[in-house]
Amino acid sequence: MELVIFARIHAREEQEKAVAEALREQVPKARAEPGRMEIAAYRSTRDPCLFWIHSRWIDEAAFEVHATLPNTQRFVVEMQALIDHPFEARARSRSERFRQRRNAPTSAAGDGARGPLVRRSADRPASSAADSGLSVQPLLTCSRRPRSSRGRA
């Protein structure tokens, strides 16, 4: 079952360039891994220290292989020295996302709309007005690999 990973990365002061460079080095390496469907790194347009990694994997086993590779382990160690929080990624399978959306409360306006797509957890309140929204620009992106032209001329 497809697995989607979101990793939030908030650089320590004066470390945002090092984080961006580490992402620019790691994302191309992950592109070549078997089982990777898509990977993208993003940087907030409002907070230069805030980055996100979004990746899709064919299944949890493919992500586990990725997590055990030496270059991935070096990347995690490097990130831990550059960020101001524990390194963490959240995983969701397609069925979990569907269940969550189907069971989400509707808006108070009664228009049938679901709650916000991005929610800030109660233990991590917005630190400023600029940090309260989500506005990002692509840092590095990669879509699905092109299909091979098996047997085609």
Q: What is the pLDDT, as a whole number, of residue 31?
A: 92
Q: What is the pLDDT, as a whole number, of residue 82?
A: 96
31: amino acid identity, one letter? R
Q: What is the pLDDT, as a whole number, of residue 60?
A: 92
Please provide residue 65's backbone torsions phi and psi, each rounded to the nearest 5 degrees.
-60, -45
- C-alpha to C-alpha distance for 35 and 45, rounded to whole angstroms: 30
Helix (H, G, I), strand (E, B) or coil at 23: helix
Q: What is the pLDDT, as a whole number, of residue 95?
A: 58
- Domains of the chain, CATH where assigned: 1-96 (3.30.70.100)
- In this prediction the pTM is 0.64
pLDDT tens for the chain, 153 residues long, are: 899 999 999 999 999 999 999 999 999 999 999 999 999 999 999 999 999 999 999 999 999 999 999 999 999 999 999 999 987 777 776 655 555 555 554 434 444 433 333 333 333 333 333 333 445 566 654 444 444 444 444
User: Encoding tokens for residue 120?
Assistant: 């800030």
- C-alpha to C-alpha distance for 55 and 91, rounded to whole angstroms: 10
Q: What is the pLDDT, as a whole number, of residue 86?
A: 85
Q: Tokens 């690999």 belong to which residue?
A: 145
Please provide residue 19's backbone torsions phi and psi, each rounded to the nearest 5 degrees.
-65, -45
